[in-house]
């Protein structure tokens, strides 16, 4: 539909556009050929929504091909009949036809191109929507083991490239077949001997173009790769973060030399590409002139010997020009179609990844009022996606009662963050159950779970938006009074007063305008605004100074009433206020109790405490609030 014949390719040069698409398609075959039957079935499922547009576009394409075949016949009649017989009325009719039929063909081409765009862009939008929803449903292991650039490529390059695949590879191939067959049939009806010679000689014109076109495309790829390397150097060394590193280590000359090397390579590859392009232009123009020259030379002989009329030779020359583009493109049609299917296959590969955090078939609603808190029952867990991965949690069981603060402590890598990830259902246990108010998380709808659960993770992410929008991210319609309360609780008022536009200040990409502690407080405010009955805090005060942390802890103590809180404690002031402390070591809970009771056990907790507060008396838990030496833990 996107291409309805040689006239729409613009002759020989138009065939080059198809050739570029062929070479792009070949790249997708490097990882192996797709399962043709399976992929075609998925393509049809995606296209079926647009079946009537597809049928209409095919009809318009056929009409366009047919109308495009008429002008050479008019020229033949004009030369062989109207002029010799001085039929002025026929001359004017044929002249009008030579205007109207090309205009009609162009209008049909416009219609079919519009339908192609509607189908292609609609299908691309549908696939992107499906991709986005499907990737959203994946667990964190998908984002852990898949590069962000690879995900973006599927959305932007692969999905975007389907426009060319649909219009050039698939529909364009169909249009070229109709054009080639229709033109040869008409030529055979006029003079089968000349038609046979044309059909035999035509591939000789197509193959040289294919050869030079492949060389130029390879040169274009090398030039693009060189420009990509140049872009990487610029991004690394002339960005804010990169510039700081370069200036800190005094490596300006080394980086300038690296830039000079990639810049020189980019220049050389660009020169090679343009040189091959010039040779290709010479070949294209030469072949475009050679075909009609041979035809006219032989045709002159036939005309002189009265074997063929002059108008027939002129019509054949016009038809031959129309055959250049479809013949050139159909030389590599097999690779074009397979490459197009391979690109579809790359998109469908993501859509066929099973959701690791599936929605329950029949979700169980959570109670309006929390009753049983969060419970782990004999939970074992290994991270998915790793070959021969070892378990990181072993037979973990505990209950975090409602209205109480449960603190997780232990050495780095013990499994504390993994426990919070399971409680938030970022992963599902390998075995065992995580329950919320007595209901397994696997039986709770994601939307229902997120409305009952607020999370502050180690990875602080703020959007490139205003401070208010970041705080209200989970509750977009929050009232000003509610925002003011969480701002006060998170100790953000001083920050807001300093910002030029207060809450409406844009925080920059990933919150770059804010310090680590300020971003931490914004994340806490965002979680508190949700008013969720469950709070999960992963080292939520790790970036705060002692004074701000003490004020936040006082606010958290008020907010914890009626809520279940599980926190990975970073400072001792958090630990001592916990209703229960779980000591995690090597994926197991080795100790549990209050701060005072754990100190009396002479176990892992006391060792951690002694190692980090060696200069502080440890005789009683009551002395802890008086200690101002807030040394950071690594737990």
Residue 552 CA neighbour count, 13 Å, CB half: 28
pLDDT digit string (tens) for 50-63? 888 888 988 998 89
Which segment of 21-35, 72-86, 107-121, 290-304 scores lowest on mean pLDDT?
21-35
* 359 in any annotated domain: no
The full DSSP string for 413-434 is: TSSHHHHHHHHTTSS--SEEEE
User: How confident is residue 627, by pLDDT bands cut at 50, 70 and 90?
Assistant: very low
**Alpha-carbon gap, residue 2 to 299, rounded angstroms:** 34
Residue 632 lies in a domain: no
Based on the domain organization, do 328 and 423 belong to the same domain? no
Q: Which of 319, 351, 383 is the last residue of a domain?
A: 351
Q: What is the CATH classification number for the domain harbouring 393?
A: 3.40.50.300
Over residues 462-477, mean pLDDT: 81
Same domain for 315 and 385, yes or no, is: no
Q: Tell me: pLDDT of 100 over 90.
A: yes
Q: Record the pTM.
A: 0.65
Confidence at 5, pLDDT banded by 50, 70, 90: very low
Closest CA to 356 of 149, 145, 152, 135: 135
- 121-169 pLDDT, tens digit each: 888 888 888 888 888 777 777 776 666 556 766 676 666 667 666 766 6
Where in the sequence is the domain holding 272, given as residue range(s)?
Answer: 8-351
Q: Give me the long-range contacts of 96-103 (CB less than 8 A, separation at least 24).
A: 97/70, 97/71, 98/71, 98/74, 101/67, 101/68, 101/70, 101/71, 101/74, 102/7, 102/71
The answer to whether residue 635 sits within a structural domain is: no
Pairing mode of beta strands 564-568, 534-538: parallel
Give the pLDDT of residue 9: 37
Q: Is the pLDDT of residue 626 over 50?
A: no
Q: Please check whether residue 162 is in contact with residue 117, taking contact to mean a CB–CB distance below 8 angstroms.
A: no
Kindly state whether residue 633 falls inside one of the protein's structural domains.
Answer: no
Closest to 373 measured CA to CA, from 447, 423, 432: 423
Both 276 and 386 in one domain: the answer is: no
- Most confident stretch, 16-30, 186-200, 418-432, 511-525: 418-432
Q: What is the mean pLDDT of the chain?
A: 77
Nearest CA to 95 among 81, 75, 80?
Answer: 75
pLDDT band for 11, please (50, 70, 90 cuts).
very low
Q: Do 519 and 426 reside in the same domain of the chain?
A: yes
**Residue 417: predicted pLDDT:** 87
Domain assignment present for residue 134? The answer is yes
Least confident window among 152-156, 310-314, 493-497: 152-156
Co-location of 408 and 320 in the same domain: no
Residue 456 sits in the same domain as residue 338: no
Three-state helix/strand/coil letters over 551-606: HHHHHHHHHCCCCEEEEECCCHHHHHCCCEEEEEECCEEEEEECHHHHHCCCCHHH
Percent of the chain clearing pLDDT 70 (strictly above) = 74
Tell me if 604 sits within 8 A of 631, measured CB to CB.
no
- Please answer whether residues 441 and 374 qualify as being in contact, where contact means their C-beta atoms are separated by less than 8 angstroms: no
Q: What is the pLDDT of residue 632?
A: 35
Torsion of CA 465, 467, 468, 469, to 10 degrees: 30
Instruction: Give domain status of residue 360, yes or no.
Output: no
101 and 170 in a single domain? The answer is yes
Contact 379, 434 (CB under 8 A): yes
The token duo for 175 is 């249009």
pLDDT tens, residue by residue, 573-591: 567 778 899 999 889 999 9
Domain shared by 567 and 621, yes or no: yes
Give the model's confidence band at 394: pLDDT under 50 very low, under 70 low, under 90 confident, else very high: very high
Q: Kindly report which listed range (323-332, 465-474, 546-555) carries the lowest average pLDDT score.
A: 546-555
Q: Give the whole-angstrom CA distance, residue 612 versus residue 462.
A: 32
Within-domain flag for 1: no
The proportion of the chain whose per-residue pLDDT surpasses 90, expressed as a percent, equals 11
- Interval 230-247 mean pLDDT: 78
Which has more pLDDT, 90 or 3?
90
Same domain assignment for residues 295 and 397: no
What does residue 384 show for φ and ψ, rounded to 5 degrees? -70, 160
CB 419 within 8 A of CB 408: yes
403 plus 335 within the same structural domain: no
Nearest by Cα to 609 from 413, 415, 410, 406: 410
pLDDT at residue 79 is higher than 50: yes
Domains contained in the chain, number:
2
Q: What kind and span of H or E run contains 407?
A: strand 405-409
For residues 578 and 478, membership in a common domain is answered with: yes
pLDDT score, position 497: 84
Residue 221 lies in a domain: yes
Does 346 lie in the same domain as 378? no
Residue 384 confidence (pLDDT) above 70: yes
What CATH number did the domain enclosing 199 receive?
A: 1.20.1560.10
Which phi and psi (to 5°) does residue 174 adopt?
A: -60, -45
């Amino acid at each position: 539909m996107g291409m309805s014949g040689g006239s729409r390719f613009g002759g020989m040069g138009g065939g080059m556009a198809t050739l570029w698409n062929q070479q792009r398609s070949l790249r997708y075959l490097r990882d192996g050929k797709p399962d043709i039957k399976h992929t075609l079935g998925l393509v049809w499922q995606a296209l079926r929504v647009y079946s009537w547009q597809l049928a209409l576009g095919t009809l318009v394409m056929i009409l366009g091909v047919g109308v495009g075949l008429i002008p050479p016949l008019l020229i033949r009649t004009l030369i062989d009949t109207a002029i010799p017989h001085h039929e002025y009325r026929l001359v004017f009719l044929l002249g009008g036809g030579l205007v109207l039929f090309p205009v009609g063909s162009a209008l049909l081409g416009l219609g079919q191109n519009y339908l192609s765009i509607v189908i292609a862009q609609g299908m691309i939008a549908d696939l992107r929507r499906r991709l986005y929803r499907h990737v959203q449903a994946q667990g964190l292991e998908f984002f852990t083991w898949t590069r962000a650039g690879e995900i973006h490529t599927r959305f932007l390059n692969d999905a975007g490239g389907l426009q060319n695949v649909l219009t050039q590879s698939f529909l364009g191939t169909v249009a070229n077949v109709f054009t080639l067959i229709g033109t040869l049939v008409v030529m055979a009806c006029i003079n089968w001997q000349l038609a046979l010679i044309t059909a035999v000689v035509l591939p000789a014109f197509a193959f040289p173009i294919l050869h030079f076109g492949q060389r130029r495309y390879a040169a274009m790829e090398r030039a693009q790769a060189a420009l990509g390397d140049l872009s990487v150097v610029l991004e690394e060394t002339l960005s804010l973060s990169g510039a700081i590193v370069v200036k800190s280590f005094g490596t300006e000359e080394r980086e300038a030399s690296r830039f000079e090397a990639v810049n020189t390579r980019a220049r050389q590859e660009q020169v090679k590409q343009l040189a091959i392009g010039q040779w290709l232009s010479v070949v294209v123009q030469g072949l475009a002139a050679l075909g009609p020259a041979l035809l006219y030379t032989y045709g002159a002989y036939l005309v002189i010997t009265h074997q063929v009329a002059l108008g027939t030779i002129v019509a054949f020359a016009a038809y031959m020009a129309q055959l250049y583009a479809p013949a050139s493109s159909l030389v590599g049609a097999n690779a074009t179609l397979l490459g197009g299917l391979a690109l579809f296959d790359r998109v469908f590969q993501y859509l066929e990844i099973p959701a690791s955090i599936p929605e329950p078939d029949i979700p169980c609603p959570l109670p309006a009022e929390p009753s049983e808190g969060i419970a782990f029952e004999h939970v074992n867990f290994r991270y998915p996606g790793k070959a021969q991965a070892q378990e990181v949690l072993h037979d973990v069981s505990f209950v975090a009662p409602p209205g109480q603060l449960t603190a997780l402590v232990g050495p780095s890598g013990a499994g504390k963050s993994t426990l919070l990830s399971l409680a938030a259902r970022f992963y599902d246990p390998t075995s065992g159950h995580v329950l919320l108010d007595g209901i397994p998380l696997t039986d709770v709808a994601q939307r229902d779970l997120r409305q009952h659960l607020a999370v502050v993770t180690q990875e602080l992410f703020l959007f490139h938006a205003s401070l208010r929008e970041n705080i209200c991210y989970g509750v977009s319609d929050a009232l000003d009074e509610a925002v003011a309360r969480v701002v006060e609780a998170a100790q953000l008022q001083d920050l807001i007063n300093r910002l030029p536009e207060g809450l409406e200040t844009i925080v920059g990409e990933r919150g770059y305008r804010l310090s680590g502690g300020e971003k931490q407080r914004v994340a806490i405010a965002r979680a508190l605004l949700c008013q969720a009955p469950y709070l999960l805090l992963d080292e939520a005060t790790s970036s705060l100074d002692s004074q701000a942390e003490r004020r936040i802890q006082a606010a958290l103590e008020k907010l914890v009433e009626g809520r279940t809180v599980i926190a990975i404690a970073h400072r001792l002031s958090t630990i001592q206020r916990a209703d229960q402390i779980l000591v995690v070591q090597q994926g197991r809970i080795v100790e549990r109790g209050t701060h005072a009771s754990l100190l009396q056990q002479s176990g892992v907790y006391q060792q951690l405490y002694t190692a980090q507060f060696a200069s502080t008396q440890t005789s009683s838990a009551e002395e802890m609030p008086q200690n101002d030496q807030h040394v950071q833990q690594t737990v």
